[in-house]
Amino acid sequence: MRLYDIEITSPLLLGTAQYPSPVVLLDAIAASGADIVTVSLRRETADGSGAGFFDLLQQTGCRILPNTAGCHSAQEAVTTAQMAREVFGTDWIKLEVIGHSDTLQPDVFALVEAARILSNDGFKVFPYTTDDLVVGEKLIAAGCQVLMPWGAPIGSGQGLRNPGALRAMRAHFPNVAMIVDAGIGRPSDAAQAMELGMDAVLLNTAVAKAGDPEKMAQAMAQAVEAGRMGYRADPMDRRDMAVPSTPILGLAELA
């Protein structure tokens, strides 16, 4: 998988929030095999007390993908992204512009606006979006080379609420890197996303809040690999009726 001309080996991206301790976080990242971890700018405070957390993440060797979590307008997201570029030293940004406080659904109008501004400013934008084809087209026109449609509301663990829409996105944008972001709760959800042809899965809460985050991270890593292999194997189509696996021809006829 290539993301903005950077080759990525792991189809699992991992968030870094809500872990019970730094040690658990590091163990989970190692078990996941992730190449990319996301982090909110809010972890880095003005007085520099968050620098320890950034140093911790650098120990993993993973590429840092800052996000604009908690932003509710295009201007707020753009400002946060510009600050993140200074703090983390990267032009990669996971762009979140929240439009609904309960579902945390993206404000797609502000999202497209912010994506255009940031792309023109040299950012490599990873937009957290819905599974709407028109929004996807507008984000690509704004300069995005990656789409990150949600599977379900952030932190809900509901899995893929609309697999048909995600399948349609994959078919409509065959050459665009696509990462399912949000809603993944179980390894089976991650495998399903990859079976639809997604390039990767980004998750956080499912691992951080598991009883054993390290074991769950390992399970998710195996699930995305199994799903990717299954997709590449060209699975059989679903059928409305049963089809016998044993041929009827040649069976004995009893009078």
Tell me the mean pLDDT in the region 30-37: 94
176: nearest Cα among 136, 119, 216? 136
Per-residue pLDDT, averaged over 225-239, amounts to: 89
Task: Give exposure, 202-213, as e/b (b: 16+ Cβ within 10 Å).
Answer: bbbbbbbebeeb
Arithmetic mean of pLDDT, 11-38: 94
Tens-place pLDDT, residues 196-224: 999 999 999 999 999 999 999 999 999 99
- Positions marked active-site: 94
Q: Give mean pLDDT, residues 38-64.
A: 73
